[in-house]
Amino acid sequence: MSSQRTGPLLPQARGALSEGVIAHLRGTGPLPGTGDVGTAEPYGDDLQLALYVCYELHYRGFAGVRPELEWDPPLLAVRAALEDRFLTALRRDAAPAEGLDAILDGLLVEPVRGTGLSWFLQDEGELRHLRDYAVQRSLYHLKEADPHAWVLPRLQGRAKAGMAAIEYDEFGAGRPDRVHARLFADLMGDLGLDATYGRYLDEGRAPMLALVNLMSLFGLHRGLRGALVGHFAAVEITSSPASRRLANAMKRTGAGPAAEFFYTEHVVADAVHEQVVRRDVIGGLLDDEPDLAADIAFGVTATSHLEDRLGDHLLAHWQV
């Protein structure tokens, strides 16, 4: 079987787990044992990079890696162990403390002014902070909103129609120049960054890897479809006000018109999406499968937990 000729380069390993996964994909070494995963830090660089590399085979793959390895049984067994370690930690650390309605209502409550990542970027952020932020977010935004598309075959009726309508907007509503991944690539150009897909994987910090892995984990497992919808709701409901602050940051620092436009576009689009996701996607899914309410709630709280970890990490790094 021939190796894939296109795609990003494999990253540098960050520990024994990621080293074993990467070596297996190169054909130069054995996979780590599933028992080795049980002692790994669930949110750490090594586990999160190993899991990200496994998941990337379901997106665009890596240059020099055989496409057939996407469904390699030994690799899938390791991936399952990595997923279990990660998911167990999330269920422990981000278990919902309220019912779904209260959790969704809580997403509408804006944080105190001056607290949180988007407030910092709006009020104090410099171009170096915006570039670093864009480098981290590129791990997702250059594939926006591919992980969410996996849930479509697992929905029906009103939930499927609402989700498809939002995804249609995310993918440019028929216009390739308005695909959100393309708009983010334009933002990166304004910031003087390389918008090549996967270019900054080696710079991706563990909290950002974990956020992207969360989407892939929920999207690839039919049994987690409710959690994927909860994740999607958390993103769409909180996006509009945060995007307004980020647009202000881009304008204040003179980042450029494309950088500013990416976020102004999300202010408008996600204000509409917020209503559709709550009324049609969540409402329709619960009409069909009311027992998924707890999973939806978990998707929301897991997303908030990982977003908070990323924000705390970046703010601590920038304020040293």
Could you tell me if 287 and 217 lie in one domain? yes
Cα 207 to Cα 43: distance, rounded to the nearest angstrom: 7
Q: Same domain, yes or no, for 76 and 113?
A: no
Q: With helix as H, strand as E and coil as C, how does the chain read?
A: CCCCCCCCCCCCCCCHHHHHHHHHHHCCCCCCCHHHHCCCCCCCHHHHHHHHHHHHCCCCCCCCCCHHHHHCHHHHHHHHHHHHHHHHHHHHHCCCCCCHHHHHHHHCCCCCCCCCHHHHHHHCCCHHHHHHHHHHHHHHHCCCCHHHHCCHHHCCHHHHHHHHHHHHHHCCCCCHHHCHHHHHHHHHHHCCCCCCCCCCHHHCCHHHHHHHHHHHHHHHCHHHHHHHHHHHHHHHHHHHHHHHHHHHHHHHHCCCHHHHHHHHHHHHHHHHHHHHHHHHHHHHHHHHCHHHHHHHHHHHHHHHHHHHHHHHHHHHHHCC
Same domain, 73 and 110: no
Of the residues 37, 57, 92, which one is the last residue of a structural domain? Answer: 92
Mark which of 72, 92, 112 sits at the end of a domain. Answer: 92
Q: Which of 30, 61, 92 lies at the terminal end of a domain, its last residue? A: 92
Residues 154 and 183: their CA atoms lie apart, in Å, by 28
2: in domain: no
Tens-place pLDDT, residues 114-126: 678 999 999 999 9
Structure tokens at 131: 């570039």
Residues 48 and 87 both lie in one domain: yes
Q: Do 107 and 41 sit in the same domain of this protein?
A: no
Q: What is the pLDDT of residue 218?
A: 98
**Residue 1 included in any domain:** no
Determine the Cα–Cα distance for residues 96 and 112; give it in Å rounded to an integer.
22
What is this structure's pTM?
Answer: 0.96
Residue 7 lies in a domain: no
Q: Is residue 4 part of a domain?
A: no
Whether residues 49 and 68 share a domain: the answer is yes
Residue 72 lies in domain: 16-92
CATH number of domain containing 107? 1.20.910.10
125-179 pLDDT, tens digit each: 999 999 999 999 999 999 999 999 999 999 999 999 999 999 999 999 999 999 9
Given this model, what pLDDT does residue 111 score?
67
Side-chain half-sphere CA neighbours of 72 within 13 A: 18
Whether 115 and 78 map to the same domain: the answer is no
Determine phi and psi for 59, rounding to 5 degrees: -105, -100
Same domain, 77 and 104: no
| Pair (139, 250) in one structural domain | yes
**Nearest alpha-carbon partner for 305 in 205, 211, 204, 209:** 211
Q: State whether 256 and 134 are in the same domain.
A: yes
Q: Are residues 136 and 88 in the same domain?
A: no
User: What does each of the 320 residues of the chain score in pLDDT, given as a tens digit?
Assistant: 678 888 899 999 999 999 999 999 999 999 999 889 999 999 999 999 999 999 999 999 999 999 999 999 999 999 999 999 999 999 999 999 999 999 999 998 876 666 789 999 999 999 999 999 999 999 999 999 999 999 999 999 999 999 999 999 999 999 999 999 999 999 999 999 999 999 999 999 999 999 999 999 999 999 999 999 999 999 999 988 999 999 999 999 999 999 999 999 988 777 778 889 999 999 999 999 999 999 999 999 999 999 999 999 999 999 87
Q: How many distinct structural domains can be found in the chain? A: 2
Same domain (yes/no): 75, 116: no
Q: Which residue do the tokens 């130069």 mark?
A: 28
